[in-house]
Amino acid sequence: MHIVVCIKQVPDSAQIRIHPVTNTIMRQGVPAIINPFDLFSLEEALRIKDRTGARVTVLTMGPPMAETSLRKALSLGADDAVLLTDRKFAGSDTLATSYALTSAIKKLSEEEPVDLVFCGKQTVDGDTAQVGPGIATRLGFQQLTYIAKIEAIDEAAKEIVVHRRSEGGVQVMKTKLPCMITMLEGTNTIRFGKMDDMFRAARYGLKTWSKDTTGADETKVGLKGSPTVVSKVFVPKPRAERAKMVEAEGGSPDALAAAAVEAIFGAQPKLADDLLGRAAAGL
């Protein structure tokens, strides 16, 4: 079985700047980590590897510095790593990104057919949750997002049973490989790397692929291949006025609390009735 895990290197803090002319994000000088949501998917892939001996390839698209995240994934136990990097990819939105990643997964499939693609549920920087579904749709894989649990994988029958988080409950689903899975946060805990994997990760000769390596169509990547346009980037407007401060003589907690309750009911007279109804219903 061949598993591809798509990861993204993201800035570790909110310390980001925006290019004043192009309105695109400047990532220089910000510490980078693997998108935390991707780690739940990576761990799940490694657990399948532990059970079945599957081969795990990690794939990322990004600037050359994204190599750091790939080596980190190798040190945790991934077998191979591919860095998809090309200036032509710069400025790709989710549609263009899923196209570029799909071109790389198709190339990986030529070496060994891919049965499972794992993606993060979403990233912490873009927060879109769109790239995974984009890849699944392009590959024609079954799409399994928000997976809380992989109950069973039958390698021979190419079947998988999963628990999918949906609103108000869990869908237990059975489907056929190949499929694309995004794991829900908190479903597992990423392992510590083994010493020999760490040494291997440091020495590993990364595969660095460009647009031409995967044969991606230039008109479908980068700014040109992205239907969305960022028309404005701005700082959220502060509220017009500051909070009205609650004060009380002596400043004891009880006096302050009493003053706060009066202030709340003064500002929202209807709230008292609502709360009363609620308290009555609850008792």
Partner 1 sequence: MSEPSKPQGRKFQLPEHLKEYKGIWVIVEQERGSVHSVSWELVGEARKLADKLGVEVGAVVLGADSPALNTICAEAFTYGADVVYKVADPVLSEYRTDPYCRVMTDVVNAYKPEIVLLGATTLGRDLAGAIATTLATGLTADCTELDIYMDNRSLAATRPTFGGTLLCTIQTLAYRPQMATVRPRVMSMPDRDDSRSGRIVEVFPSLREDDVITKVLNFIADREQTEAQLAYADVIVAGGKGLGKPENLKLVFDLAKVLGGEVGVTRPLVQAGWTTFDRQVGQTGKTVRPKLYIAAGVSGAIQHRVGMEKADLILAINTDPNAPIFDFAHLGLVGDALTILPALTDAFGKRLSVNRLAG
Q: Which is nearer to partner 1, 80 or 141 (CB)?
A: 141
Q: What whole-number distance in Å separates Cα of residue 141 and Cα of residue 177? A: 8
Q: What whole-number distance in Å separates Cα of residue 278 and Cα of residue 283? A: 9
Q: Least distance in Å: CB of 216 to partner 1?
A: 15
Q: Which is nearer to partner 1, 195 or 280 (CB)?
A: 280
CA atoms within 13 A on the CB side of 113: 7
Q: Which is nearer to partner 1, 56 or 104 (CB)?
A: 104
Q: Least distance in Å: CB of 71 to partner 1?
A: 24
Strand-pair partners of 165: 170
Q: Which residue is listed with tokens 């969305």?
A: 228
Q: Least distance in Å: CB of 261 to partner 1?
A: 5
Q: Which is nearer to partner 1, 53 or 269 (CB)?
A: 269
Q: Which residue is listed with tokens 């490694």?
A: 46
Q: Are strands 159-166 and 142-154 parallel, antiparallel or unpaired?
A: antiparallel
Q: Are strands 207-209 and 80-84 parallel, antiparallel or unpaired?
A: parallel
Q: Least distance in Å: CB of 62 to partner 1?
A: 16
Q: Which is nearer to partner 1, 195 or 267 (CB)?
A: 267
Distance in Å from the first CA to the final CA of the chain: 57
Q: Least distance in Å: CB of 265 to partner 1?
A: 8
Sequence-distant (6+) residues with CB within 8 A of 30 are 11, 12, 13, 15, 16
Q: Which is nearer to partner 1, 156 or 267 (CB)?
A: 267
Q: What whole-number distance in Å separates Cα of residue 15 and Cα of residue 252? A: 39
Q: What is the largest CA-CA distance in the chain?
A: 77
DSSP per-residue codes, 120-185: -S--SSS----HHHHHHHHHT-EEEEEEEEEEEEETTTTEEEEEEEETTEEEEEEEESSEEEEEPT
Q: Least distance in Å: CB of 232 to partner 1?
A: 4
Q: Which is nearer to partner 1, 92 or 201 (CB)?
A: 92
**Residue 61, H or E segment:** strand 55-61
Q: How many residues does the chain have?
A: 283
Q: Least distance in Å: CB of 99 to partner 1?
A: 9
Q: Which is nearer to partner 1, 51 or 174 (CB)?
A: 174
Q: Least distance in Å: CB of 55 to partner 1?
A: 24
